[in-house]
Structure 1
Amino acid sequence: MSSITTRHFLQSAGILLAGLVLAACGKQEPPAPAASAPAPAASAPAPAAKVYLVGTDAAYAPFESQNEKGEIVGFDIEVVQAVAQKAGIEVKFVNTPWEGIFNTLNQGDRDLLVSAITITAERKQTMDFSTPYFDAQQLIAVKKDSKISKFNDLKKLKVGVQNGTTGDEVVAKLQGKDSANIKRFESTPLALKELEAGGVDAVVADNGVVVHYVNNNSGANFKTVSDASFVAEQYGLAVKKGNTELQEKLNKGLADIKTDGTYDKIYTKYFGSPAAPAPAVAASK
């Protein structure tokens, strides 16, 4: 084997080193990681649950009234709240004057109404009702020293009623719709205040409201008079004509609260004892 000179060795080593440097300089960077797939577009937020607007004339204690904080409270309010919970819907109560309350339903400004509304054949022509939730009848309020003992005694007397109610209807049938002796008021409590002041001889209104007022206003010196001619009435929750979806939800909720005892608890809170069994046949006026 021939010997290698130092010069030759150095030349060879230099060439080898240069090659290594060039190889190092030409080394490719590792490929960049593949771009990740674009994040899926954020899904649109779920639409807010519908809030059903409930019209109520909050001047009809104990069914609906306003407390010292301005909150709408009462028997009707608690019933609808319980029904809504069972039906899985959200409700918001809106104080709505009785005069015009049915127009707010027909125009779509309210989704349902609860305001001690008697189910009548005439009203059923323009709106639909839930199953009945309260049994009522008319009752007469008079001063304790009054000689009035029956409904017919009111035929020629001044009688206060709430405009557009079934009390208004029965007195109009007795005296004539245009009788000057019928004094119509925006609310039953206003009519009862007029009785207290001596402006009318009697007031005819739903028994629940009359009894509540008499019991809570002992200074008015009122008594009540019932009459066999007053037929049974039933209250219902009113919905727009043809809104069967909401009507069915309300009916299911009412059935549920009656089955589980919730309804009786609310009734007892406001009227002192559970509701009596409904009459076999409800009159419709």
Structure 2
Amino acid sequence: MNIRKLIKKVLMTTIVGAIAIGFVGCGNTEKLVLGFDDTFVPMGFKDENGEVTGFDIELAKAVGEKLGKEIEFQPIDWSMKETELNNGNIDFIWNGYSVTDERREKVEFSKTYLNNRQIIITLADSKIKTKADLKDAKVAAQNASSAVEAIEADGDIISTFKNGKIITFDTNNEALMDLEAGRVDAIVADEILAKYYMNGRGIEKYNVISEDFGIEDYAVGMRKDDSAFVEKFNKAFDEVVADGTAAEISKKWFGEDIIAK
């Protein structure tokens, strides 16, 4: 074989290989990877059988059907969620993900689908009745959560806490267990998560004080350069709301339709 034929054969092999890779890539676009904290009851978590379930999970499946995409649910380290997204390891963050100014700099948000508050939870017999009563108290929250951001944004209140800091846990469940055990005095957490958990454990054990650390919105986080995807996502979500599916999922998990209008 002369040199020209050899070069031609190598080039053809390279082109065919590139086309094959391209087809594989197109196949992958039929699947969307959703990053979530698999302990975040009732939004996205693993049940007693190890199966992924939750309000956000069911809503994501419904939106995925409208988009014609299969949703793969990928548990992630919640403190690394934006890094996982922007590195391309996941396609969106959907797990009680609160909209904040800091996060807007890192991700593109979908439209709001739920409204939420950062509430302050104590045990029922606690002497803590106001935010001012948190002075010298052991206050806990989930690490890298919007609860931490909400506390940090509230003036210099952290300096009044015990040892001048927030006690952080990897999960809200761990924080709530330490509250019950008396190892912390109060927890700041998403209202939706907290109420679901307290109802399951016995609402009479807890108290939610009248003051809070602010109202916020839940939305889905996508990459900044995925504006076309965000538009398609919002359209698919609107369809899930319009046909009543979103309301049915909400009533199943919360007993009422709490989808943001």
TM-score (norm 2): 0.83
Residue-by-residue CA offset, 1:18-69 (whole Å, 9 max, x unaligned): xxxxxxxxxxxxxxxxxxxxxxxxxx98953521111001111001110122
| Residue number in structure 2 paired with 1:169 | 149
The SS at the match of 1:137 is strand
2:160, 2:98 → 1: CA distance?
19
Which protein shows a greater Rg?
A: 1
Residue segments in structure 2 that go unaligned for 5+ positions in a row: 1-19
Partners in 2 of 1:225 and 1:263 — Cα distance? 30
| Aligned twin of 2:247 | 264
Q: Is the 8 Å Cα contact of residues 159 and 204 (structure 1) preserved in structure 2?
A: yes
Paired position in structure 2 for 1:152: 132
Q: Which residue of 2 aligns with 1:188?
A: 172
Work out whether 1:214 is the aligned partner of 2:204: no
2:74 is equivalent to residue 94 of structure 1: yes
CA contact (8 A) 1:214 1:222 kept: yes
Secondary structure of 2:73 counterpart:
strand
Secondary structure in structure 2 of the residue aligned to 1:99: helix
1:48 alignment partner in structure 2: 27
The amino acid across from 1:168 in the alignment is: V
Q: Distance in 1 between matches of 2:49 and 2:210?
A: 35
> Separation in 2 of the partners of 1:157 and 1:186?
20
Cα 1:220/1:59, change in 2 over 3 Å? farther
Query: Does 1:233 find its partner at 2:216?
Result: yes
Question: Whole-Å Cα distance in 2 between the matches of residues 160 and 121 of structure 1?
Answer: 22
Q: Which has the higher strand share?
A: 2
Aligned CA distance change for structure 1 residues 271 and 169 (closer, same or farther; 3 Å): same
Question: Which 4+ stretches in 1 moved above 3 angstroms?
Answer: 44-47, 176-181
Q: How does 1:244-259 map to 2 (within 5 A)?
A: 244-259=227-242
Q: When the two structures are superposed, what TM-score results if normalisation uses the length of structure 1?
A: 0.76
Deviation of 1:115 after TM superposition, in Å, equals 1.5
Equivalence map 1:96-115=2 (5 Å)? 96-115=76-95
Q: How many residues align?
A: 234
Q: Is the 8 A contact 1:53 1:94 kept in 2?
A: yes
